Chains A and B, each alone.
Chain A
């Protein structure tokens, strides 16, 4: 069976510090991978998605970046965090377009102070 992991679960970082969030998927190969951000009480905003190693599509221009160094690993990074980067970050995967549902990781709650 497939599982998706994210870490850390929670993170408190000062403004201007770097960020690295990691997501890994087990039990499948060549998944589509996604990073979402959710502000408190709001819907999900797609940040990045990847259909393969080294292939990253950015949906929202900002100070975040994403990388996919391995088939089942997706990393969200920032060189300098802003207060507005606070939120709940969710990684997701699916195995194709159309009717394939996306499966979500447990999320990382980031607070920038």
Chain B
């Protein structure tokens, strides 16, 4: 079984600063993918970034980067130069490459202060 743990229920960050959202996972599958989604107050789920378990380099997408530490089973999201529009709920998720199910963590609410 797969499990995602996000230990930070809420985070605050000053505008223009970087912030790290934590995510640890547990799986017995050797091949899997890790995802981060953003959910603003409107409710839509927005895909941010993906990391494959065999990828050698950390994934980056614009201001988003994924700090992947396979031995520690962690996949933290780093947002650089925070903007007010980054205020939202952020979910970490994973899926075994052999399956279809995407397992989500409980989420972290991020508030960006001006």
Contact = CB atoms under 8 A, between A and B. Distances in A.
Interface string A34-76: 1000000011101001010000000100000000000000000
A109 interface: yes
A99 B50 contact: yes
A34 B93 CA distance: 15
Contact of A97 (B37, B47, B99, B104): B99
A81 interface: no
B47 A101 contact: yes
Contacts of B97: 97-99
Nearest to B34: A99
Contacts of A97: 95-100
Interface in B87-112: 91, 95-107
A86 to B, nearest CB: 14
A50 to B, nearest CB: 9
A46 B102 contact: yes
Contacts of B95: 97-98
Contacts of B31: 98
A92 B100 CA distance: 12
A104 B35 CA distance: 13
A23 interface: no
B44 A102 contact: no
Given A43-B105, A43-B107, A44-B91, A107 B50 contact: no
B40 to A, nearest CB: 12
A49 B100 contact: yes
A106 B95 CA distance: 22
B62 interface: no
B45 interface: yes
Which 6 A-B pairs give the minimum distances between C-beta atoms?
Answer: A104-B45, A98-B97, A43-B106, A44-B104, A101-B47, A43-B104
